[in-house]
Amino acid sequence: MTTRLRPGLPIFRLPQGASDVLYTPGYLALVTPGEADEVHSLLVGTGPASSPPLGRLAAELRRYAERAIGTWSRRLEAPFAPECLTVYLSNQCNLACPYCFSSVARQAGARGGHPAIIEEAMVHSTARLVARCCAEKMGPFHLVLHGGGEPTIHWDMVVRIVNATRAIADEAGVDWFGVIVTNGVVPETAASWMARHFNLVELSCDGPPEIQDRQRPLAGGGASSPYIEKTARTLREAGGRLTVRTTITPRTVERQAEIVAYLHETLGARQMRFEPVYRVRGGKQVAFQPDQAAWFVEHFLAAQREARARGCDLSWAGVRLDELHGPYCSILRDTLHLVPDGAATACFFYTGGRDSEGVPRPIGRWGSVAGEYMLDIERIGAHRRKAGEVPESCTDCLNILHCARECPEVCYATDAPEAQGAKTPAGVNRPGFRCLVNRRLAEAWIEEAAASGAPAWMCSATCRPTWTSTPKIRPRGPLL
C-alpha cells in the first residue's frame, strides 16, 4: 500500500516486491525497506542519517517535493497569460456518435438557442491577445481548431483562420504551431491541405471498422471507417504528422491492444491517446463504473506494451508523470478557449449551447462595440484557485500534483467538495472510475520506471537507481 512519508510534502513510499520505491514528482529511488524506514525518520526529523548517501537521498526527495509544490502554487497565482488559442468553430457535425459530449449543444443550436458558427473577428481579436502573451514569454503561438462538432465542415473558415493567425503570430515575432482535431470524414483535398499546413493533425478513430462504424457512424447512417482510412493515407502521403485519439467504451475495453495494432498497421499512427467514454450529465450513454477500473487498467497496460513493441506511443491524459497538472480546465493550461456562442470558457467540456447547470460561467466576452475581446480576470483567478486546489481525498495520493482527477465527470471549479464524486452510505466520498484508473496507472508506471534502472544514483550497495525528470508545465497541444 502506498503511504505518504511526511505531512505537507508529496513524498511517497510504494512497496515493490522485496524493495520499496520512494517517489516525489520528478524523482524516484528504489531502496530496501530498512533504508526506506531511515529516510522516513530523516524526513520527519526523528533520527540522524546512518550514512551520508541516505542523508543526501532524503534531502533530494525533500528538494524535489518542495520545488513541485512551489511551482504548482506559483502557477495558480500567476496572471493568466494564454499561449494557446483553442477554437470550437461550430457545433455542427457529419457524424452521429452516440457518446458525443456536445450533442446537447447541437440540439440547442438546432432549436435556435445559439449561433451555430463562431465570428471570425473574435478569433482575430483573441489571437492578437494570445500572440502578445507569447511574445512576452518568447514562446510559440499555438492554435488548436476543434469542434463541439467537426471543424472541417467550415473549410473556407479553417483556411482563413490558419492564414490570419499565422500573420498575427508573424507580426508578434513568434512561431506558429497549428493543430486540428478532426473526425477524418473530409475531402481528400482538405486532408492533403491539413497535412501541409498544420503541425499536427489529431484524428479521432475508435478502432477497426466494426468498432468505428458502430461507435462513430455517419450522421445520415453508414460507415465512417472507409473515410478515416483514406484520410489517414492522404495525410501520410502528404507528409503530415498524425496522432489518433480513441474513445474506449465498456464494449471495447478488452480490445485495446487490437486497436493499437489497427491504428498502427492500417492508419500508420505512431502516437495514440486513449480516453474512456465520458459520462455526460443527463446523457444516456453507457459509462464506466468504479468496479471496472482494474479491468480497464489491465487492458490499457497490455495495449501500451503492444504500442511499445511497435515503436509507438500510447498516452493517457488523466495522469502525466512528467508534468504538474490538475483537471483539464483550459485556464490551468494557459489556453484561451473560444466556443461558437462567443464565450471564452475555462472548460473544454462546454461547447456552447449546453445547459448551464454544472458548467463554469464564461471567463470572457466579445465587446462588439469596442471590437475587442474582454477577459474577466477576477473570475479567471477564482476559477484557477478553486480548480487547482487539492481535494481532501487526494492529499495522501501519489498523484496529488499530476492528476486530472475525475474531471469532467466531476467539476472541481463548480461542484462543492461534498458534491464531488459518489458517496458511501455513510456519506464519505468514494473514488470514482477515473480516480481508480489514474492511481493504478501511476503506480504501475512508477514501479516500471524504478525497475528499469535509468540514470543511477546509488545510496548503498542494495539501493537501486534513481530516476529524475523535470516536470513540465507548458501546454503540449490538445489533451482532449
Q: Which residues make up the interface to ligand SF4 (CB under 6 A)? A: 327-329, 346-349, 360, 387, 393-394, 397, 399-400, 403, 405-408, 411-413, 431, 435, 438-439
DSSP state of 114: S
CB of 383 to ligand SF4, least distance (A): 7
Q: Which is nearer to ligand SF4, 41 or 393 (CB)?
A: 393
Angle, helices 293-309/256-265, rounded to nearest 10 degrees: 30
CB of 379 to ligand SF4, least distance (A): 12
CB of 102 to ligand SF4, least distance (A): 13
Distance CA 148, CA 150 (A): 7
CB of 181 to ligand SF4, least distance (A): 16
Q: Which is nearer to ligand SF4, 3 or 266 (CB)?
A: 3
CB of 408 to ligand SF4, least distance (A): 4
Query: How is 354-390 classified by DSSP, letter by letter?
Result: S-STTSPPPSEEEETTTTEEEE-HHHHHHHHHHHHSP
CB of 240 to ligand SF4, least distance (A): 29
CB of 351 to ligand SF4, least distance (A): 11
CB of 251 to ligand SF4, least distance (A): 25
CB 347 within 8 A of CB 411: yes
Contacts 24+ apart (CB under 8 A), 418-423: 420/391, 420/393, 421/393, 422/290
Q: Residue 212: which of 42, 95, 108 has the closest Cα? A: 95
Query: How is 386-452 classified by DSSP, letter by letter?
Result: HHHSPPGGGTTSTTTTB--TTTTTS-TTTS-GGGSSEE-TTS-EE--HHHHHHHHHHHHHHHHHHHH
Q: Which is nearer to ligand SF4, 75 or 230 (CB)?
A: 75
CB 102 within 8 A of CB 151: no
387: Cβ–Cβ under 8 A, 6 or more apart, which residues?
326, 327, 329, 332, 346, 412, 413
CB 25 within 8 A of CB 402: yes
Q: What are the backbone angles phi and psi of residue 143, rounded to the nearest 5°?
A: -115, 130
CB of 432 to ligand SF4, least distance (A): 8
Q: Which is nearer to ligand SF4, 169 or 403 (CB)?
A: 403
CB 117 within 8 A of CB 90: yes
Q: Which is nearer to ligand SF4, 6 or 320 (CB)?
A: 320
Q: Which is nearer to ligand SF4, 91 or 225 (CB)?
A: 91
Please report, as a single letter, which amino acid is at residue 376.
D
CB of 199 to ligand SF4, least distance (A): 24
Q: Which is nearer to ligand SF4, 172 or 387 (CB)?
A: 387
Q: Which is nearer to ligand SF4, 160 or 361 (CB)?
A: 361
Q: Which is nearer to ligand SF4, 224 or 335 (CB)?
A: 335
Number of neighbours of residue 351 by Cβ within 10 angstroms: 29
Distance CA 289, CA 295 (A): 11
Q: Which is nearer to ligand SF4, 149 or 391 (CB)?
A: 391
